[in-house]
Amino acid sequence: MCGICGFNWNDEMLARKMAAQIVHRGPNQEGVYVSDEMSLAFRRLSIIDLSENGNQPMFNDDGSVVLVFNGEIYNFRELRHDLEQDGYVFHSNTDSEVIVHGYEKWGDGVLEKLRGMFALAIWDVPRKRLFLARDRIGIKPLYYSFQKGHFLFGSEIKTLLESSRVERRVNYQALYDYLGFEFVPSPETMFAGINKLPAGCSLVYEKGEIKIQRYWDLQFHPGENTLSFDEAVEEFRFQLDFVVKSHLVSDVPLGVFLSGGLDSSCIVALMRRHISGPLRTFTIGYEDKSYSELDYAKIVAEHCDTEHHVLMLDSLKPEYVEQTLWHLDEPMTDLSTIPLYLLCKQAKEHVTVCLSGEGADESLAGYDRFKAARVDRYFHLLPAGIRKHLIGRAMGVLPDQQQKKGAINMLKRFVDGANLDSAGKHLRWQYFLTRDIERQLFTDATAARMTMDPFRLVKEYNDRCDGGDEINRQIYLDMRYMMADSVLMKVDRMSMASSLEIRVPLLDHVLVEFLASLPGSWKLKGMETKHIFRAALQGLLPDEIVHRGKQGYSLPVKHLLRGELKDYMISLLNDSRVIREDLNGAYVNRLIEEHCAGKANHNHILWALMNVAVWHNRFFA
């Protein structure tokens, strides 16, 4: 795992300054390439072939191809064998060199050969052509800016901000989208003029122009599945075992995150099949049982005989908020961000690589929002007046409950989402900016800079999907609209902050394509999420793990904002220039008062605003 950056002019000092901003991504080596037309920089976290032969930038034999690459290619040995058969000579045991020679043989088509996670840049010297690409799923990030003829790219936004040719301006449309969905959807970022390269896309900079092309998308091919359910379960088991084993290649110590949920427990059990020695597992817990999964993690750790490490977390220091926002580069309000940041710091004391269970909730309909959308079909049989006015107002009167979920909290959240525009599909239950908040939160000048259509991008993605049934169409939205810019962005930044590589075997693209070929009813059966996943794990894990529901390890933020973070929240939001100038400060203070008094649970919007304030203070001071 590493960090890359570059730009289309000659400036070695700037290249090194940009690389210095991401030294946490690669503390083991710095490399720079400079020519009249292109400057590239690289920071290395050594994982495979720890020798100097693995240093980057990496060149082909005649120096006509220059590569900087972040990620892991899990089928690099098979590709290397094919290339050696064609006469290519290798000077290292790295996956990076496979990409160099693969580009020589297949050109841009090398992307179709790669099985793994990556963000890469290839400078084709004789053609004066820069080729950038991001992996199919979006596990590894890549940002770029193209303004007034100046093209820059980097693994993190902060690299681009080192150049005086990149202006720092707030992207107000991104601010609107963020406050609703709690992340900024591609290709936008919170900085106007800086973009994300979307997952599954490549970018060519040539002759002063850029061209972006989507080389992969998730396709469902409705009606083409020929497997019975039992046959699909067996194939799923085989592929799960294969991808976990393939993700174990490493020349440094590795471990695994274990929450006690189905996904991470599956990975631990499959790793144990292939690792006979010590297996290190890492988990996080809280004293509040409604937020903690420690008991389940302990069951799995004992079942798989792991060396188990537990990090207890019940307080949250303001500096954690500041530190995570610097690494994120833009606000992203996943309530598990800080716990993951701290867990990665702990894991790094023992290992350099960790496997993690991200992806199954998206590809197998594991979130509560999938169930909410199913219930909503019946809820919408009620007249709109009853749904929105009678039931909606009744929910507003019910007090917020202390526990994380609970019947009342879940019912309130369901009704809130159900009463949003149905164009939001199941993502209505992941949206937190109501029309009432919109009207009162933004100043007129700020609102004029925004298109206040919360689900406009959801509609675009939904139109792009070939899924034949509703569950698969919902899965597409999770996989292609949400995951790369929220869950995977969080995982990349929080792990790289501690120079820790996280691998996500459940997002192997071949496995994802296999799951997409199966009917949605095999994923959400009635109200049982991940139905086929649970069937595939029978006998591998204890029944109490296989059949338990989803919980997650998010912070108890609503309590923290009423307690130890209350004063920090009040001062932060009242002193923030972006809050003061672009938003209605009096309304923000009303939200604070209602939340702290227990009259309402405004933790999502308040936590989002706090992240905006911290971000603006850090990057615009």
Active site residues: 2
User: Strand, helix or coil at 324?
Assistant: helix
Q: Phi and psi of 55, rounded to 5°?
A: -65, 155
* Cα–Cα dist 72/518, whole Å: 28
CA–CA distance from 164 to each of 11, 192, 617 (Å)? 12, 15, 19
Give helix 262-274 / helix 294-303 axis angle, nearest 10°.
20
Q: Is 545 left (phi over 0), alpha (psi -120 to 50) or beta?
A: alpha
DSSP 538: B
Using a 10 angstrom Cβ sphere, with 0-12 exposed, 13-18 middle and 19 or more buried, the burial of residue 208 is exposed
Query: Could you tell me if 5 and 19 are in contact, meaning their C-beta atoms sit under 8 angstroms apart?
Result: yes
Query: Could you tell me if 557 and 335 are in contact, meaning their C-beta atoms sit under 8 angstroms apart?
Result: yes
Q: Phi and psi of 136, rounded to 5°?
A: -60, -40
Two tokens, residue 475: 């899965």
Place of tokens 């867990």: 343
**DSSP string computed for 104-134:** HHHGGGHHHH--EEEEEEEEETTTTEEEEEE
DSSP 400: P
Partners of residue 525 on adjacent β-strands: 528
* Cα–Cα dist 190/158, whole Å: 12
Q: How many residues does the structure list for the chain?
A: 621
Across 53-192, the runs of DSSP E, i.e. the strands, are 58-59, 65-73, 116-124, 129-134, 143-147, 150-154
Q: Is 223 left (phi over 0), alpha (psi -120 to 50) or beta?
A: left
* Cα–Cα dist 128/291, whole Å: 54
Q: Phi and psi of 383, rounded to 5°?
A: -60, 145
Give helix 509-516 / helix 229-246 axis angle, nearest 10°.
170
* Cα–Cα dist 38/151, whole Å: 10
Number of helical (H) and strand (E) elements in the chain, helices listed first: 29, 17
